[in-house]
Every structure is written in C-alpha cells, then in structure tokens.
A = this chain, B = another copy of it.
Amino acid sequence: MQTNLNNESDLTAEQYQRKMQRRKEVQQERVAKASLEKGLIIVNTGNGKGKTTAALGMVLRSLGHGYKVAIVQFIKGAWEPAEKAVFSLWQDQLVFYAMGEGFTWETQDRERDIEKAQAAWQTALTFIANPDYKLVLLDEVNVALKLGYLQVNDILAGLEQKPADTHVILTGRGAPAELIEQADLVTEMTLIKHPFREQGVKAQPGIEF
C-alpha cells in the first residue's frame, strides 16, 4: 500500500501524534528564534479583494489592545456610513481622515486631485511622526502613487520618520518596487474569482462597503 504522508487522514493515531509533536517543536523553534519586536512597514497590494479589509482587521486588533490608531484614506472621498458608524465607537483611540471629493474619475481635475492627495499626505505625516499612534493606515496610497499624485521618494522619506515601534500599513494595487523593497511584510491579494465581473453581482453592503 502506498502511503501519502501529506494527507493526515491516512495516518495511524501514532503517526498522527508524532507528526503533530514534530509540528509543535518546529513552531516552538520558530517562536524562540523570532525575538525581535519592531514596528513594521506593511504593504497590501495586488488586484484581488482584501487589501483594505485586511488592514481594517489589523486596526480592529490594535483597538482591542487599547492602542491609538490613525487612518488616512487616499483616493476615495469620504468614509462609507458603515465604516464611520464602527469607527465612531472608538473616538478616544481612533482618528480618521479622508482625502475628500469623491473618486478621482468624478473630478477630472488633475491639479485639484494632486492638492488633495498632498494635503492627505501631510496629515498622514503628522500621525506617522507622532509616537502616540501605534498604527497608521494609509489606505489606497499606492493608487495615489500610481496616478502620480504623490512621489514614492516622499513616502519613503516619511516612513523613515516613524518611531521604532509604530506600524504603518500601505494599501492599494500597484505598489511600487521601491516601497516593496523597504517594507517588512508584503502580501499580494490575487483575484481568483469575482462575482462582480463573472455573475453581474453588484457591490453589496458589508462586502464592498
């Protein structure tokens, strides 16, 4: 009989126990080796869903730990009512700022878009430099970079001002290579299947906003 060691279902109780014991040891070794605490530069990019929502999940965890958090939203003009309703529960711990003026394809005025993005970035910088904030989320900032509203060198210089234990999350498709190079944790969200395109399902509350 051929034994498939990758499938736990086929293992005897003893084999299972040995495998899980080994897994536990590997896990303990990894935890023992990883001893450094460090504020991370985190990038969520790719053309799939989950870049912003994963960042919001981290915001949620940080709030649960009692940390102060700042969120600056680039590109989108305003917070969705549901997000606003949730954020408002943590007025003592959370500040949030939106660039204003709706999606860029609504305005069609490049100069104004650049001004708004630059103003949002200046606001973001004050949070990044402020040690009271443990987590700063720059939502959709990669798109602002891609559209040329912001310059990657300015972002990298700004990130160097962050206190050692502050985490900064940068989201949006098309993260530039220079940013990925400087980041500690980079995840690419890849679209495998999307109902919006494939089934004509519309953006729905709770899913897209």
With a cutoff of 8 Å between Cβ atoms, the chain B residues found around residue A46 in the complex are 190
Q: Are A8 and B147 in contact (CB under 8 A)?
A: yes
Q: A20-B104, A23-B105, A108-B17 are in contact. Are A195 and B185 (CB under 8 A)?
A: yes
| Residues from 53 to 109 in A contacting B, C-beta threshold 8 Å | 53-58, 60-65, 67, 80-86, 89, 103-109
Q: Residue A130 at the B interface, CB < 8 A?
A: no
Instruction: Name 22 interchain pairs, CB-CB below 8 A, sorted by A.
Output: A8-B147, A17-B109, A20-B104, A27-B105, A34-B200, A34-B203, A35-B200, A40-B195, A40-B201, A48-B187, A53-B53, A58-B206, A60-B83, A61-B205, A61-B209, A64-B84, A65-B82, A134-B206, A184-B195, A184-B199, A185-B207, A187-B192
Looking across the interface, which residue of chain B has its beta carbon closest to that of A192? B186
With a cutoff of 8 Å between Cβ atoms, the chain B residues found around residue A54 in the complex are 49-50, 53-54, 57, 189
* Copies of this polypeptide in the complex: 2
| Residues from 7 to 23 in A contacting B, C-beta threshold 8 Å | 7-9, 11, 13, 16-17, 20-21, 23
Q: Are B202 and A191 in contact (CB under 8 A)?
A: no
Q: Mark A20-53, 1 if CB is under 8 A from B, else 0.
A: 1101100100110111111010111010111111
Q: Are A187 and B188 in contact (CB under 8 A)?
A: no
With a cutoff of 8 Å between Cβ atoms, the chain B residues found around residue A147 in the complex are 8-9
What is the minimal beta-carbon distance from A80 to any residue of chain B, in angstroms?
8
Write the residues of chain A forming the contact surface with B, with a CB cutoff of 8 angstroms: 7-9, 11, 13, 16-17, 20-21, 23-24, 27, 30-31, 33-38, 40, 42-44, 46, 48-58, 60-65, 67, 80-86, 89, 103-111, 134-135, 146-148, 167, 180, 183-196, 199-207, 209
Q: Are A201 and B184 in contact (CB under 8 A)?
A: yes
Q: Are A193 and B185 in contact (CB under 8 A)?
A: yes
Looking across the interface, which residue of chain B has its beta carbon closest to that of A148? B9
* A190 in complex: contacting residue of B83, B86, B190, CB < 8 Å: B190
Q: How far is the CA of A183 from the CA of B192 in the complex (A)?
A: 10
